[in-house]
Amino acid sequence: MVPVPDLCVLGLGLIGGSLLRAASAAGWTVWGATASAEDAVAAAKDGYDVLADVDQALERAAQTDALIVLAAPLPAIDGLLRKVAAIAPTAKLTDVVSVKGPVEAAVTRLAPNTRYVGGHPMAGTSASGWVAGKADLFKNAAWVVAVEDETDIDVLGEVIGLALATGAHVVPASAAEHDSAVGRISHLPHILAAVLATVGADGGPLALALAAGSFTDGTRVAGTRPELVQAMCEGNRSALLDAVDDALGRLGAARGSLASTGGLAKTIEAGHAAKRALDEQKAAERTDVTIDLSSSGALEALRAVGARGGQVVGLDGVTVRARTS
Amino acid sequence: MVPVPDLCVLGLGLIGGSLLRAASAAGWTVWGATASAEDAVAAAKDGYDVLADVDQALERAAQTDALIVLAAPLPAIDGLLRKVAAIAPTAKLTDVVSVKGPVEAAVTRLAPNTRYVGGHPMAGTSASGWVAGKADLFKNAAWVVAVEDETDIDVLGEVIGLALATGAHVVPASAAEHDSAVGRISHLPHILAAVLATVGADGGPLALALAAGSFTDGTRVAGTRPELVQAMCEGNRSALLDAVDDALGRLGAARGSLASTGGLAKTIEAGHAAKRALDEQKAAERTDVTIDLSSSGALEALRAVGARGGQVVGLDGVTVRARTS
């Protein structure tokens, strides 16, 4: 169990291209393919094993029971899944898309016989293309691996092994838990930064001239390429709606309190306590725990590690080593 | 006109203490007083001219027609103004409070015969007390000086001269313009940071463990001491309400669009354009202009400099030197 599989990477942009490099550097047998001629040529020129098209890459994957990685943006996933279903219908499958529920649903709809375990390496998104990739992109990054009740343990072990091989640590969570969390800490910040930047600029040159650290910090990610932010946020529509509603509720409560009593203590103290919780979690002591993947209850134990803010840092045979507070 | 006056600083905390040091270093005749025994003793020990109490400091100010600086937080302003009205009722007066409309209103109510010109040096607020102060606190900071239609030109020149002597540049604006601007770029960021931190922490340890740059940037100022943030934001109640309403409107529009069409283009593109406007204004070429304070139209010309994102950088006799884009 949990041998190193062959790896087939579909999509050779920033994430897929970095993954091809990282797995290769870790000694894996890995090949890739992409619909982007530019990325394909660049990757081949750099000496990597690039097949002529996605079909050929999938045929080879079917022959060797390789682990297939969908390394394309969400809008391209359906097309890839149709090819997977046609050429390698029972393949071991993972992905690197920044939202997990919609990909899981697409797999169920279009390639239901694949052995799918979702993933999301949380590494750089501001540059793109093969040329922007690098073998150490995932070093020290969090790589969320989706753990559901019906998850195939063997494929789960292989996906965890792949993430660890790239230098990432693994955060186990269900797709729903993942999407809810990133809606709050990754997508909502972009919406609030856009709102703050706009309200500030509406104050005209005087307001912008007086802008100091609090405004600069709060609007920094509004400088990210809009099409990337849009794709990321819109892809997580349902969970992001929950996060936006929470923000609207809290901002509305602050508004009501300021208008009626003039007081903001509740809003500001809650924010300060939350910030302290973040800092304390970062500084918290960690305990090492091990989980036997072949044991019953392994999936629940993994999800519990993620839910407590912990991470998987090692895999020996079927034994996962995790650190949790 | 615009000779260097004597200076009387009431309050010797971070801002008042730094001002006493900076004016002293610039060669001004300056003394101070404070109700805080701790600050008074520390300042005297450091060799500065500290009088026994505020009454004595005001008596000396009345005798020498000194410029009096109210360097206390907003809740202490009324008490100081009553003393000013009793001991130095026609004094030249300025302040360093982070909100201008409420101070202006208090002066009109409690010390209507003073020659008042409001000010707001936008420098550090996270530490406090005499020990936290330093002579170069205002170096390169923006110091807003309130310019109203009825502003006394002589006192205006003295306040501008004081701000420039500390190494700050002066941003001229009416009290209402100032309060609206800081509501948007200084107070609203604190409210949004508090909301974001709280919604993130509501996602539990998993969400906090996945928090990366966008969340860290967006919540940084939620770490500021809550009582400082509260005093600052609550003091600017009316203008902050406008800014919060704008933010609620824009966040609500994003919510509606995400829920109905699933699209966020408008929100994200507006935020990106606003961020670009901020960056462009910072990088813009500046032109030097001069304004003769004794000319008619000087007050309007000064406010126009601020409204265009410009600043006053020099004062020679009655000639103000400004830089504007």
Structure tokens, B300:
């309007």
Closest C-alpha to B26, from B41, B2, B46, B6: B6
A32: β partners: A9, A50
* Digit-coded pLDDT (tens) for A233-256: 999 999 999 999 999 999 999 999
Q: With bands split at pLDDT 50, 70 and 90, how would you rate the model's confidence at A213? A: confident
The residue among A282 and B29 whose pLDDT is bigger is B29
For residue B127, pLDDT beyond 90: no
A254: β partners: none
Q: Measure the CA–CA gap between B109 and A153, rounded to whole angstroms.
A: 75
Give the per-residue pLDDT at B1: 44
Mind telling me how many Å the CA of A313 is from chain B's nearest CA?
14
* Digit-coded pLDDT (tens) for A9-43: 999 999 999 999 999 999 999 999 999 999 999 99
Give the per-residue pLDDT at A2: 52
**Contact call for residues B60 and B84 (beta carbons, < 8 A):** no
**Dihedral angle over CA of A59, A62, A68, A73, nearest 10:** 40
* Digit-coded pLDDT (tens) for A151-209: 999 999 999 999 999 999 999 999 999 999 999 999 999 999 999 999 999 999 999 99
SS3 of A257, please?
helix
Q: Do A274 and B204 touch (CB under 8 A)?
A: no
Q: Do B210 and A142 touch (CB under 8 A)?
A: yes
- CA angle at residue B294 from B290 to B296, to 5 degrees? 90
Q: Do B221 and A214 touch (CB under 8 A)?
A: yes
Number of residue pairs across A and B with CB atoms under 8 Å? 351
Mind telling me how many Å the CA of B214 is from chain A's nearest CA?
6
Which of A177, A268, A279 is the best mutation test for B, with the most CBs of B within 10 A? A268
SS3 of A45, please?
helix
* Digit-coded pLDDT (tens) for A108-122: 999 999 999 999 999
Residues 6+ apart with CB under 8 A from B284: B309, B325
Q: Using CB atoms, which residue from B200, B217, B267 is nearest to A274?
A: B200
E runs forming strands in chain B: 7-10, 30-33, 67-70, 92-95, 115-116, 119-121, 142-146, 169-173, 287-292, 311-316, 319-324
Own/partner contacts of B41-45, CB < 8 Å, gap of 24 or more, are B42/B12, B42/B129, B42/B130, B42/B131, B43/B12, B43/B17, B43/B130
Q: Do B264 and A218 touch (CB under 8 A)?
A: no
* A176 burial type by CB count under 10 A (0-12 exposed, 13-18 middle, 19+ buried): middle
The full DSSP string for A87-114 is H-TT-EEEE--S-SHHHHHHHHHH-TTS
Give the per-residue pLDDT at A302: 97
Q: Using CB atoms, which residue from A201, A206, A271 is nearest to B198?
A: A271
What residues of chain B lie within 8 A of the CB of A208, using their CB?
A: 185, 277-278, 281, 309
Q: With bands split at pLDDT 50, 70 and 90, how would you rate the model's confidence at A1? A: very low
**Dihedral angle over CA of B94, B97, B100, B102, nearest 10:** -100
**Contact call for residues B123 and B141 (beta carbons, < 8 A):** yes
**Contact call for residues B270 and A194 (beta carbons, < 8 A):** yes
- CA angle at residue B14 from B63 to B93, to 5 degrees? 30
Q: Do B184 and A202 touch (CB under 8 A)?
A: yes
Mean pLDDT, chain A, rounded, equals 95
SS3 of B133, please?
coil
Q: Measure the CA–CA gap between B160 and B65, rounded to whole angstroms.
A: 17
Nearest chain B residue to A235, by CA:
B262
Give the per-residue pLDDT at B2: 52
Q: Do B218 and A217 touch (CB under 8 A)?
A: yes
Give the per-residue pLDDT at B139: 96
* Digit-coded pLDDT (tens) for A81-105: 999 999 999 999 999 999 999 999 9
Q: Using CB atoms, which residue from B254, B268, B325 is nearest to A226?
A: B268
Predicted model pTM:
0.92
Q: Which of A22-26, A221-225, B123-127, B173-177 has the lowest mean pLDDT?
A: B123-127
Structure tokens, A156:
């789960």
Q: Do A274 and B181 touch (CB under 8 A)?
A: no
Structure tokens, B40:
């008074």
Q: What is the mean pLDDT of residues B252-272?
A: 97
B72 phi/psi in degrees, rounded to 5: -130, 160
Q: Which residue has the tokens 């000319």?
A: B295
The amino acid occupying position B117 is V
Q: Do B275 and A209 touch (CB under 8 A)?
A: no
Q: Do B186 and A270 touch (CB under 8 A)?
A: no
Q: Do A272 and B194 touch (CB under 8 A)?
A: yes
Q: Using CB atoms, which residue from B202, B214, B247 is nearest to A189?
A: B214
The full DSSP string for B218-243 is HHGGGGS-HHHHHHHHHHTHHHHHHH
Q: Do A209 and B281 touch (CB under 8 A)?
A: yes
CA distances from B174 to A219, A321, B117, B171 (A): 26, 62, 10, 10
Mind telling me how many Å the CA of A311 is from chain B's nearest CA?
9
Give the per-residue pLDDT at A212: 81
Give the per-residue pLDDT at A325: 83
What residues of chain A lie within 8 A of the CB of B229, using their CB?
A: 264, 268, 272
